[in-house]
Amino acid sequence: MSIIQKGPQSAQQIGNRHLEAPLSPSDTAIAHLRGRALEANRGVPLNLGWVEDVRVNTSAVERRAQSLVTRRTVKKDYQAAWLLRAISCMDLTTLSGDDTDERVRRLCSKARRPLQQDLVKALGVESLEIQVAAVCVYHVFVETARRALEGSGIRVAAVSTGFPAGLSPLAERVQEIRRSVEAGADEIDVVITRGHVFAAKWQALYDEIAAFKHACGPAHLKVILGTGDLLTLRNVARASAVAMMAGADFIKTSTGKEPVNATLPVGVVMTRAIREYANQTGYAVGFKPAGGIRTAKQSLEWLSLMKDELGPSWLSSDLFRFGASGMLADIERQLEHHTTGRYSADNRHPLA
Amino acid sequence: MSIVEKFVTMDYGPSPEDPREALAWLDKHKRRFGHFIHGAWQSPIEAKYFDTSDPSTTEKLADIAQGSLQDIDAAVKSARQALPAWQSLTPHARARYLYALARQIQKHSRRLAVLETLDNGKPIRESRDIDIPLVARHFYHHAGWAQLLPREFPNHEACGVVGQIIPWNFPLLMLAWKIAPALATGNTVVLKPAEFTPLTALAFAEICQEIDLPSGVVNIVTGDGQTGEALVAHPDVDKIAFTGSTEVGRAIRKATAASHKKLSLELGGKSPFIIFEDADLDSAVEGLVDGIWFNQGQVCCAGSRLLMQESIAERLIAKICDRMNTLRVGPPLDKSIDIGAIIARVQLERIQRLVDQGVAEGATCWQPTIPMPSRGLYFPPTLLSNVHPTSIVAQQEIFGPVLAAMTFRTPSEAVELANNTVYGLAACVWSESINVSLHIASQIKAGVVWVNCTNLFDASCGFGGYRESGYGREGGREGLLEYLEPSWFKHAPPLHQRPLAIDHPPEEPTESADEIDRTVKLFIAGKQARPDSGYSFEVRAADGRLLGEAPLGNRKDIRNAVEAARKATAWPKSSAHTRGQVLYYLAENLSQRREEIANRLSAVVGKEQAQSEVALSIERIFTYAAWADKYEGAIHNPPFRNVTLAIEEPIGTIGILCPTQAPLLGLISLVMPVIAVGNTAVAVPSEMYPLITADLYQLFETSDLPAGSVNLVTGRPTELLKTLAEHDDLDALWCFGDTVTCATAKFLSIGNLKQVFTNEGRSIDWFNPTQSEGRFFLEHATQIKNIWVPYGE
């Protein structure tokens, strides 16, 4: 259209620059944000001014979360592709008192083959070799999971540090991380001392997480903020900033054991915190919503949030995970419906 | 493209809303629509049609009837014919019709949303999630008002036949804002939808049929500006409600000046969007998306002037640019589109022209490199930074997705910049401090202020502007008043040219003959001032005897008086309690001098009336002293976590042309409500007895009334009225005279579209408190500012 072409700066150039990294990335780049290459988080000194300057307007964030899900939708083949992406970003999780080695092996088997072969075939996605990103278990099952997942590339994540309350002595919590790493965990999901947030003891929080990071060694550190306990979005934003400064590779919403777990407003706040941190430091931090995400539709909403707020780098398991157990079953049903046109049932898909 | 490729790219892909049902509805009507008059479709008398088209493709959708004078006349006749039966229904019966309309709209909500998007080009997300739900809400809310009407608005009557003209940016929503309150208050309607977007109004006509709304209660006549003109000019229309451009608003004010048509105007804006350094910046950026990139920026209350605190400007601009890069422009029926099509080529060209001019004047233009559709009428989201107040893009309403960004240093500079506009429709204030946000909100001249939010609307909260953004409100209790009149006022007899027939010959003055010659002066800025002209004119008693001479004020004296009133900032800022105390004191002082003032006045109006005028004036001052701290606003509760503070604010500086009859009581009855609520006044006393000025300024001077809050200029009313009506720094004009005088006031007021309150040439009994004091006057002395304050932690 001629009028637009005459514009001061051509807006006619079609093409989504977020798809491929347009700038020459450095060797260590793990992600891109609006064209800028980002490295893995190495942490920065605690910046109290930054933490205190955090502003979050709850109502406005809620409105953003509310309208985001009505502004974006994916249909048909795109929806199938997005649901497959959701599976590939999944930390398939079992964290129950009645977990056993056999239960964990069953989960690992599902992690390797989240979809039935005939469904994979019908979708024409054999080449994607869809599997989940990680299996998340208690420390005692790390060994079992490691063996069960051998050679699959699926990572083993262990919840640690006195999960879910995180109130055991610090030395024990740090020791717990070491033991899990030794047992073969690739990723450690830790919980923070929520009390430090309530009391604004940012230094204590920073030191605690830095100690966890140190104990992790090469393993990835996911810091669970316990957003359902922190309650206010401002607390969530501040705790996010401190966790990232202390070296978190991921920040994660919840344990799944709190009364309220991952909500979209919390997601908006944490993704904005990640964006701010990336802009200030050049480091990319991943995001993991966990708990309460049960439906295929929710998985699409979260992926839209990542795509719009952070960009395509956060649509892969390197920087985005779902902590979920029940969601996979719903995605399987939706994908089958996509291929058959008929609504599916749970019993048509193998149990996790 | 396979699922595998889609898995790699993770694009949203197309997700079009299915338009088939809406298109089938058009086909059912053979894609040709007549007018909806008296409950039936009528072919246009002149058999002329025009096209309405889909701006996203420029494809024609249907033939629309071009309304002629005769079509308008037929529609008005139908509305008039339907009026008695509609008004004789019980309030409950009318409420049921409004409720049925709300229900029927909900039942067909998706068809209406799709139709709206097809005809207007707005994203389906907006028509589906915002426009149509607000339409239904408006009818539900007003079904309630219909039910409660007689108890909540006793002694009021509907205007009668109402002519309504609506714009193309929110076609069905504007229809709802117009029709719901009109029907709830017992009026019948002739509505003309915008030429570009008639389809949902025609669909609404069909809904009226479906719920068996009595024929003639709602008539829809389509057409262009000429059709609108015919409706405005029709002699049997009692009220005109218009939403649209300030330019057309002016023309309507002019065209209706000589009639008694009640008028409400919702016009343009150039609304400030103020972001303080302590705001949640990411949320503020989302606010901008909802502010200026909502409905392609074709929103009268769009936050089009961004005012950023200097300390955060750079960061904020970076955030805005980042966000603009994720906006999706494209086919509006796609559910993942943020910005749809511009309404028409002429509008698209206008946007481009203004942007080009802004750039030529020094602005920096930034547009994101996002995909743009190859056909249809689209304009990319645009940020103009380094804009200065002198630039055209900082002053003129662009009505497109173009944001003009400026910086400020201090809160007071923010207010100054925010108010540096002829408009006053809306404003946004972003700050996490309740102190800052409410302090700023209270100082901004705008009818709506959104604190930490943008473009929220609800049927319970009035919407409308200050200054050249129009007058009157839509929504809420105040919106209903636009469709009602006090019964006594509606039926008041016309004022006679020479109103005063004195029954008794005037008494001889009882003053002693040796009184020193008295020089009457003007009263300006708290001082007694000689007239600029250096002339005086004779004032005679009823029997022709010379009573004295009054100063002959001219336009310069009016200029000085308005300047003084404008500068008298202490009075509007004083507390309501203080204003009340000053008025009580004034009453006290008048009471002390009651006899001498009555004595002098009796030479003109007779002893009996003079005494009565003085006594009632004392009472009237007491009335408004009492009201000063009791005329209060309301708190609305729209259906989400928010309070809307509806604050009654003074209009500003008001010119008052006092009635001829009752020289003292008439003036007191008008000046007191004006100042009680914190306005300042320039009054022209009765030409029959301008000498009252001398008595009044002595009273004012001794009653602690701050200098400049009331100014008195005597002279030839017609000449002074002209200067007052044309004065662009006067916010309102109260004119009480004969029909010609009232028409003149309205006709000459269009420069700054000041609010004009007249007696419509009718006779008001100043001695009857039912007519001459109370809310009716206070409502005209105030305007409501709605401050939206969402809360939550």
Give the domain ranges of chain B: 20-243, 272-464, 518-634+650-780
CATH number of the domain located at residue range(s) B518-634+650-780 in this protein: 3.40.605.10
Q: List the single best residue of A53, A78, A129, A336 to mutate versus B (max B Cβ within 10 A).
A: A78
For residue B628, how many C-alpha atoms fall within 13 Å in the half-sphere facing its CB? 25
Min distance B793 CA to chain A CA atoms (Å):
6
Tokens of B26: 């058009």
**Residue B457 to residue B70: CA distance in whole angstroms:** 37
* Residues B15, A74: C-beta atoms closer than 8 Å: yes
List the single residue in A13, A125, A308 with the smallest CB-CB distance to B4: A125
Fold adopted by B272-464: Aldehyde Dehydrogenase; Chain A, domain 2 (3.40.309)
What pLDDT, on a 0 to 100 scale, did the predictor assign at position B363? 97
Q: Is B562 exposed, middle or buried (0-12, 13-18, 19+ CB in 10 A)?
A: buried
Min distance A165 CA to chain B CA atoms (Å):
24
**Residue B688 to residue B670: CA distance in whole angstroms:** 17
Nearest to A322 by CA among A29, A86, A78, A15: A86
On the question of pLDDT at A14 being above 50, the answer is no
Task: Give SS3 for B407.
Answer: strand
Contacts of B387 (CB under 8 A, 6+ apart): B358, B363, B393, B394, B404, B405, B406
Instruction: Calculate the CA A301 to chain-centre distance.
Output: 13
Beta-carbon count within 10 A of B108 CB: 19
Helix runs in A135-283, H state only: 142-149, 170-182, 194-198, 202-216, 227-230, 233-245, 264-281
Min distance A108 CA to chain B CA atoms (Å):
24
Q: Give the chain A residue nearest B456 (alpha carbons).
A: A63
**In chain B, what residues touch A274 (CB-CB under 8 Å)?**
none
**How many beta-carbon pairs below 8 A join chains A and B?**
156
**Residue B11 to residue A293: CA distance in whole angstroms:** 22
Total-model pTM: 0.95
On the question of pLDDT at A120 being above 80, the answer is yes
* Residues B3, A77: C-beta atoms closer than 8 Å: yes
Tokens of B344: 């028409």
Contacts of B326 (CB under 8 A, 6+ apart): A308
Q: What is the DSSP string of B299-359?
A: -TT---EEEEEGGGHHHHHHHHHHHHTT--BS-TTBTT-SB---S-HHHHHHHHHHHHHHH
* Residues A70, B125: C-beta atoms closer than 8 Å: yes
Q: What is the DSSP letter of B445?
A: -
Strand partners, B711: B682
**Residue A269 to residue A287: CA distance in whole angstroms:** 11
CB–CB of B533/B503 below 8 Å? no
**Residue B178 to residue B166: CA distance in whole angstroms:** 8
What pLDDT, on a 0 to 100 scale, did the predictor assign at position A194? 97
Nearest to B508 by CA among B593, B614, B600, B597: B600
Contacts of B126 (CB under 8 A, 6+ apart): B294, B295
**In chain A, what residues touch B376 (CB-CB under 8 Å)?**
1
**Residue B67 to residue B44: CA distance in whole angstroms:** 6
**Residue A239 to residue A260: CA distance in whole angstroms:** 17
A 158-217 residues with CB below 8 A of B? none
Nearest to B282 by CA among A300, A271, A263: A271
**In chain B, what residues touch A73 (CB-CB under 8 Å)?**
12, 15, 335-336
Strand partners, B163: B190, B240
* Residues B10, A81: C-beta atoms closer than 8 Å: yes
A 70-109 residues with CB below 8 A of B? 70-78, 80-82, 84-85
What are the 10-residue block averages of pLDDT along chain B, 793 residues in total?
A: 95 97 98 98 98 98 98 98 98 98 98 98 98 98 98 98 98 98 98 98 98 98 98 98 97 97 96 98 98 97 97 98 97 98 98 98 97 96 96 96 98 98 97 97 98 98 96 96 98 75 48 68 97 95 91 98 97 97 98 96 95 98 98 95 97 97 97 98 95 96 96 96 98 97 97 97 97 97 98 92
CA of B755: how far to CAs of B267, B281, B471, B750, B779, in Å?
13, 38, 7, 9, 12
Say yes or no: do domains B20-243 and B518-634+650-780 share a fold.
yes
Tokens of B557: 């004296």
Fold adopted by B20-243: Aldehyde Dehydrogenase; Chain A, domain 1 (3.40.605)
Nearest to A3 by CA among B569, B341, B67, B224: B341
**In chain A, what residues touch B367 (CB-CB under 8 Å)?**
7-9, 11
* Residues A16, B371: C-beta atoms closer than 8 Å: yes
Q: Give the chain B residue nearest A74 (alpha carbons).
A: B12
List the single residue in B15, B338, B374 with the smallest CB-CB distance to A75: B15
* Residues A78, B6: C-beta atoms closer than 8 Å: yes
Q: State which H helix or E strand residue B262 sits in.
A: strand B262-266
Q: Which residue is it, tokens 């795509």?
A: A307
* Residues A73, B793: C-beta atoms closer than 8 Å: no
**Residue B467 to residue B249: CA distance in whole angstroms:** 12
What pLDDT, on a 0 to 100 scale, did the predictor assign at position B498? 53
What pLDDT, on a 0 to 100 scale, did the predictor assign at position A3? 37
Q: Which residue is it, tokens 């008002």?
A: B145
**Residue B57 to residue B67: CA distance in whole angstroms:** 26
Model ipTM? 0.94
Fold adopted by A27-74+157-348: TIM Barrel (3.20.20)
